Structure 1
């Protein structure tokens, strides 16, 4: 299963970014997780159909209204299969 690993940089903590990600992941049937990192970035692992991942990434770039995404780093690799999408703490 192809896994997309995203690191989202910018003003993405304290603005509802994880909950925004959770909701769009469920809307597009994306599996994986999202969590805040100690340095202010947000980390996401995502699995799904290629066309859904493409839309998902575009929505991540926009973010919720109070966020300001500066950059998204992406890696793709084979990973374990996820059954749902979670917010990690």
Structure 2
């Protein structure tokens, strides 16, 4: 089946509320690969690859997130997948 890549930026109260943890759980359930990352500006970036139906389900979830999250908006686009991810991971800031 044909795969796609979803790139999303989630705005709102999405850091410090277990948003990444809940999103990883959903991504694992949907069998999509990629990552989620807290951006310095307070948004959360999501890159996910999988079949279109599962990416749509993940996108719907991004509007909800964790119980404590307050999502204001989700900016997203679909592009061609690269196949570079083996799993869905939570990325952390690397300190020098």
TM-score, L = length of structure 2: 0.88
**Larger Rg, first or second structure (1 or 2):** 2
CA distance in 2, matches of 1:80, 1:56: 18
SS state of the match for residue 66, structure 1? coil
6-15 or 68-77: which moved more? 68-77
Output the CA distance in 2 between the equivalents of 1:36 and 1:71.
15
Shift of 1:80: 1.9
Q: How far apart, in 1, do the equivalents of 2:20 and 2:39 lie?
A: 11
After alignment, is 78-87 or 11-20 more displaced? 78-87
Extract unaligned runs of 5+ from structure 1.
Answer: none
**Deviation beyond 3 Å, 4+ runs, structure 1:** none
Q: How many residues matched?
A: 89
Shift of 1:2: 2.3
- Provide structure 2 residue ranges, at least 5 long, that are not aligned to the other structure: none
Match of residue 52, structure 2, among 37, 50, 53? 50
SS at match of 1:62: coil
RMSD: 1.0
